[in-house]
Amino acid sequence: MDDRQRLKEILLEKSYRKGSFTLTSGKTSDFYIDGKQTTLSAEGAYLCGKLLFSLLQKSPTPIQAVGGMTLGADPLVTAVSIASFLAEKPIPAFIVRKEAKGHGTGNYIEGLKNMAEGCTVALLEDVVTTGGTLLKVIERVEAAGFKVGLIATIVERQEGGTEALAKAGYTLESVFTREQLLS
């Protein structure tokens, strides 16, 4: 079994739920993908890191840091950073806060000391529905002077996220679409 197929099994076992759910976007859905149940498991984190790192390697622009909005992206950016180190192509991770830090530096972004000024970054998310969280992250990352070279997710729910990001000028890459995950 290859890594992608194994990750699909883990996602379906640990993260996929049927029922009635209200999503971050405010939309209601008859299914929910709780990505953290997979990304916080040892094997799931390893596979997510490895597969997302592989996506980053295909970027036309070299990726110099990887980050995303806390909390969903935290285990992903760590896993990708570790996978990059193991591949002897180290990429530092950063985390974007939901609110600016209320003390000390007051930063929205943690991990700045590991990033070159103005570098090209990849943004990660465990599950994308409308793309709203990623648009907020893009705004904060670009306001800090960085360039967004790639946006990637584990699962693209196929509910407008790809289109919203494309309208803003960005391409979303995914390990799985909803259709691929549920097929």
CB 48 within 8 A of CB 154: yes
| The pair of three-digit structure tokens given for residue 76, joined into one six-digit string | 């992903």
Residues 117 and 158 sit within 8 Å (Cβ to Cβ)? no
Q: What is the CATH number for 128?
A: 3.40.50.2020
> What are the pLDDT tens digits along the chain (183 aa)?
899 999 999 999 999 999 999 887 788 899 999 999 999 999 999 999 999 999 999 999 999 999 999 999 999 999 999 999 999 999 999 999 988 766 666 689 999 999 999 999 999 999 999 999 999 999 999 999 999 999 999 999 999 999 999 999 999 999 999 999 999
Domain region containing 19: 3-182
pTM of the predicted structure, to 2 decimals: 0.94
**Contact by Cβ (8 Å): 41, 23:** no
Q: Which amino acid is at 169?
A: G
Our count of domains for the chain comes to 1
